[in-house]
Amino acid sequence: MNATLPNAETLRAALAGLLDGLPPRQAARAVDRLIANYRGTTPTDAPVLRDRSDVAAYAAYRMPATFEAVRSALDALREAAPDWAPATHTDVGGGTGAAGWAVAGAWEGTRTTVLDWSEPALALGRELAELSGAPALRAVEWRRARIGEGPGLAAADLVTVSYVLKELTADTRAALVDAAAAAAQAVVVVEPGTPDGYARVIEARDRLIAAGLTIAAPCPHSAACPIEPGTDWCHFSARVSRSSLHRQVKGGSLPYEDEKFSYVVATRFEAGPVRERVVRKPQIRKGQVLLDLCTRDEALRRSTVTKRHGGLYRAARDVAWGDAWPPPGEQD
């Protein structure tokens, strides 16, 4: 990958430059309110990010985690369709542009439009894009729009909807997913890795399939999810490095955190879903690795890989939660 493309390090540097001098107490108060909204259950009919202090706090609190979650989903899309690249990208409810950063880091030359109803978020997103030094981010179009209302979305190769559905009513969520399906060649939906976040992803997955798209990730198939409703939920984890400001704002001491998220990727073009997906953190025990897998035969299964499996065992010791299984060249 071109070293000039934006990544997590350039995002942290841009955030540090923009937020330098932000009073930590002011940021912490805004973060407390945002956390209450983020964990709440009632959709809002007004922008969550009301002013610059809200937006700055959000950028420090959520933007690195959103970037890593979306980047992970895009990696799965690239794995399923390695020869495909989007020329155009619409980020619905994109706020300060975390998904745009992830797209710019995944493909060169993609033209991104960020839609959001919070003008302060769009303004700060523009500033961050300028600080990035990346031509693709400086060329992003930032457009104010009331999400889920008005005419459908303009045609785009890729539409991302990340951490947005929770803020909408059920009818508006459905309308937004339908609009994304009608507009895009590929749709990526990301939500918090909670039972209710997973439920919203499953609702979106069903609507995308009904609209004629097929599932490219994380599922190995486009049939019904094998998880019995109410018994479990499908989610994954992305490691997020924390800056000193990030630790101040979030009140943590560790240099990292693990962002739990649920997602779905659906396409109108041919893609190659993985044969099986690791859906829980592998359990490494003496002489064996236990893998929980979602499979192409529409089922969940536990695979025990032992030393007698040779290369497959060595691969299992290195496989991560969310990875494809088995690795290329290996047989289960």
> How is residue 284 written in tokens?
């490494």
Domain at 8-267, CATH homologous superfamily: Vaccinia Virus protein VP39 (3.40.50.150)
pTM of whole model > 0.85? yes
> How is residue 262 written in tokens?
């649920």
Give the domain ranges of the chain. Answer: 8-267, 276-325
DSSP label at residue 133: -
pLDDT at 3: 46
Interior/surface letters 285-315, b for 16+ CB within 10 angstroms, e for the rest = eeebbebbbbbeeeebeebebeeebeebbeb
CA 98/CA 134 separation, integer angstroms: 14
pLDDT at 328: 76
Q: Element (H or E) spanning 106, and its range?
A: helix 98-106
pLDDT at 5: 74
Spell out the per-residue pLDDT of the chain, length 332, in tens. 444 678 888 888 888 776 666 666 666 666 666 666 544 554 555 555 566 767 777 787 788 999 999 999 999 999 999 999 999 999 999 999 999 999 999 999 999 999 998 888 899 999 999 988 899 999 999 999 988 766 689 999 999 999 999 989 999 999 999 999 999 999 999 999 999 999 999 999 999 999 999 999 999 999 999 999 889 999 999 998 766 665 665 556 666 788 999 999 999 999 999 999 999 999 999 999 999 999 998 789 999 999 999 999 999 999 999 999 998 767 65
CA 293/CA 280 separation, integer angstroms: 8
